[in-house]
């Protein structure tokens, strides 16, 4: 009997040790991690940017990251772009702080929210943003990146290499280090990630297309000539000036350029696009309804063009804004997390895109387009915006709706500037 009890005790101890397997952070930053990984759901087409690791007083989104995740997922946008800043995680050389990203990733796992990891921003001690050459800090960057992939790679499989490296101000990347040094960083980073996570999706960092700056096609071509397309799975960009119809020609130009240097079909990702809900110094005609409809129409244009994912900038308004801030009021929820019309519109659109598959589209002169779609039962429906597109469809006995109301053909002219959904009843 004693022997049997001893055997049972040994078995219990063995299974207890296995069951308690977990890593706690070591002094070098290894180990740790945010807990067991559930099965991975497919990321949604509609997605959001949220600064869920920030703790600043004007935008402490970390404090409400669980509420943000809940709202994003319930709105059909359960794919969140979040930053992993090297400067936050290794603020001093050899001193690692994983508490906030561990918490955020753990809670995203629990809620089934997928994450696009934006990795960027060296700490001050590297002098990367002032005087240091890439060779002086690349090894440190790769150590940081390797630790992030090791720590979160069981859940995060999508990686974006830098934010707006081409921004003329040099806010995110020194412009005297383009294109060669950025190409080298992308290639070495991609090699490291693919070695650790062969099935990962790696994006060439989201390029700015800021108004007043030259479109980034020339720089893209220089990078493609340096073979970066051999190492990435997609190209990300932020087409703020290219709303609705303008996006179609921009996409075509980018696809043609990629095709010139690659036989693969690299994915196109919009990792930032948005509009403010109130007038600002750069967008004085903004209002809640315009925000909702421009966001929807631009997302639909990208969907029709075969885009992979469309990230709204941004999810939540900051606590303090002024008319003079360029990116004021871009949130689709207020600072108190109350949904704006833009949130309700994207939730409605997410539901429609779940039901329908793209068939074809027609673009009209001016700001108008008609997109034909098909549901699982073979039933056609249409999305439209603009007068010409609406006139193509009226008179066919179709039911018409916006994201928040039914529309009668008798007052259709009042809705030309809105996204309309047409279906047979």
CATH number, residue 297: 3.20.20.80
Looking up tokens 């096609």, which residue turns up? 217
331, 356, 381 — which closes off a domain? 356
Tokens at 316, concatenated: 């939540």
CB 122 within 8 A of CB 86: yes
Q: How far apart are CA 295 and CA 301, in angstroms?
A: 10
Tokens at 107, concatenated: 């809670």
Q: Tell me, yes or no, whether 2 lies in a domain.
A: no
Distance of CA 200 to the CA centre of its chain: 16
Residues 215 and 323 in one domain: yes
- pLDDT confidence of residue 211: 73
Can you state the angle between helices 217-225 and 246-261, rounded to 10 degrees?
20
Q: How far apart are CA 112 and CA 231, in angstroms?
A: 29
* Residue numbers of the domain that contains 411: 362-424
- pLDDT confidence of residue 38: 66
Q: Tell me, yes or no, whether 366 lies in a domain.
A: yes
Residues 106 and 65 in one domain: yes
Cβ-Cβ contacts under 8 Å for 49 (sequence gap 6 or more): 80, 81, 271, 272, 311, 312, 313, 314, 315
Reported as a pLDDT band with limits 50, 70 and 90, residue 170 is confident
Q: How far apart are CA 377 and CA 161, in angstroms?
A: 40
Whether the predicted pLDDT of 392 surpasses 90: yes
Residues 315 and 396 in one domain: no
Q: How far apart are CA 203 and CA 116, in angstroms?
A: 10
Q: Write the pLDDT tens digit of every residue in 194-212.
A: 999 999 999 999 999 987 7
CB 148 within 8 A of CB 89: yes
Beta bridge partners of 84: 119
Tell me the average pLDDT across 209-234: 94
Residues 210 and 98 in one domain: yes
Our count of domains for the chain comes to 2
Reported as a pLDDT band with limits 50, 70 and 90, residue 31 is low
- Which of 255-259, 275-279, 324-328 has the least mean pLDDT? 324-328
356, 379, 395 — which closes off a domain? 356
Tokens at 398, concatenated: 């179709």
Q: Tell me, yes or no, whether 154 lies in a domain.
A: yes
Reported as a pLDDT band with limits 50, 70 and 90, residue 19 is very low
- pLDDT confidence of residue 327: 83
Q: How far apart are CA 52 and CA 66, in angstroms?
A: 9
Q: Tell me, yes or no, whether 260 lies in a domain.
A: yes
Residues 324 and 412 in one domain: no
Residues 229 and 172 in one domain: yes
Q: How far apart are CA 345 and CA 410, in angstroms?
A: 23
Residues 218 and 349 in one domain: yes
Q: Tell me, yes or no, whether 35 lies in a domain.
A: no
Q: Tell me, yes or no, whether 12 lies in a domain.
A: no
Tell me the average pLDDT across 352-371: 96
Q: Tell me, yes or no, whether 11 lies in a domain.
A: no
CB 164 within 8 A of CB 206: yes
Tell me the average pLDDT across 270-275: 98
- Which of 18-32, 92-106, 312-326, 397-411 has the least mean pLDDT? 18-32
Whether the predicted pLDDT of 87 surpasses 90: yes
Least Cα distance to 416 among 297, 241, 240, 310 occurs for 297
Reported as a pLDDT band with limits 50, 70 and 90, residue 81 is very high
State what percent of residues in the chain have pLDDT above 90: 83
Residues 123 and 56 in one domain: yes
CA atoms within 13 A on the CB side of 422: 24
CB 142 within 8 A of CB 189: yes
Q: Write the pLDDT tens digit of every residue in 302-350.
A: 999 999 999 999 999 998 887 778 788 999 999 999 999 999 999 999 9
**This prediction's pTM:** 0.92
Q: How far apart are CA 30 and CA 110, in angstroms?
A: 23
356, 385, 403 — which closes off a domain? 356
Q: Tell me, yes or no, whether 40 lies in a domain.
A: no
Residues 341 and 368 in one domain: no
Residues 246 and 199 in one domain: yes
Residues 217 and 199 in one domain: yes
Whether the predicted pLDDT of 1 surpasses 90: no
Q: How far apart are CA 283 and CA 155, in angstroms?
A: 38
Residues 315 and 390 in one domain: no
Looking up tokens 């989104």, which residue turns up? 61
């Amino acid at each position: 009997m004693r022997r049997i009890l001893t055997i049972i005790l040994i078995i219990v101890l063995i299974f207890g040790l296995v069951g308690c397997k977990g890593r706690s952070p070591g002094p070098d930053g290894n180990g740790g991690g945010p807990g067991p990984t559930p099965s991975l759901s497919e990321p949604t087409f509609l997605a959001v940017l949220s600064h869920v690791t920030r703790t600043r007083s004007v935008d402490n989104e970390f404090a409400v990251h669980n509420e943000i995740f809940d709202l994003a997922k319930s709105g059909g946008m359960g794919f969140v772009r979040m930053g992993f800043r090297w400067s936050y995680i290794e603020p001093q050389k050899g001193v690692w702080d994983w508490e906030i990203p561990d918490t955020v990733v753990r809670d995203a796992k629990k809620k089934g929210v997928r994450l696009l990891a934006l990795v960027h921003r060296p700490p001050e001690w590297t002098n990367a943003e002032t005087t240091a050459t890439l060779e002086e800090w690349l090894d440190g960057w790769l150590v940081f990146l390797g630790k992030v992939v090791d720590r979160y790679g069981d859940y995060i499989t999508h990686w974006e290499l830098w934010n707006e490296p081409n921004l003329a101000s040099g806010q995110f990347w020194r412009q005297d280090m383009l294109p060669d040094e950025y190409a080298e960083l992308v290639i070495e980073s991609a090699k490291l990630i693919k070695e650790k996570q062969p099935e990962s999706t790696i994006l060439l960092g989201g390029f700015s297309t800021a108004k007043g700056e030259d479109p980034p096609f020339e720089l893209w071509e220089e990078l493609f000539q340096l073979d970066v397309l051999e190492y990435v799975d997609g190209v990300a960009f932020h087409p703020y000036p290219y709303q609705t119809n303008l996006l179609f020609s921009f996409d075509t130009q980018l696809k043609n350029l990629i095709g010139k240097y690659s036989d693969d079909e690299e994915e196109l990702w919009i990792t930032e696009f948005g509009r403010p809900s109130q007038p600002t110094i750069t967008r004085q005609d903004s209002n809640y309804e315009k925000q909702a409809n421009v966001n929807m129409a631009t997302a639909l244009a990208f969907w029709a063009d075969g885009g992979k994912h469309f990230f709204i900038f941004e999810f939540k308004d900051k606590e303090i804004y002024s008319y003079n801030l360029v990116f004021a009021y871009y949130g689709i929820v207020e600072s108190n997390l109350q949904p704006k019309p833009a949130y309700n519109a994207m939730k409605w659109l997410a539901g429609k895109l779940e039901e329908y598959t793209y068939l074809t589209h027609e673009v009209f002169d001016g700001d108008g387009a008609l997109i034909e779609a098909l549901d699982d039962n073979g039933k056609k429906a249409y999305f439209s915006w603009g007068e010409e597109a609406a006139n193509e469809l009226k008179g066919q006995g179709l039911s018409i709706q916006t994201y928040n109301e039914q529309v009668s053909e008798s007052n259709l002219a009042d809705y030309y500037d809105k996204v309309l959904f047409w279906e047979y009843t």
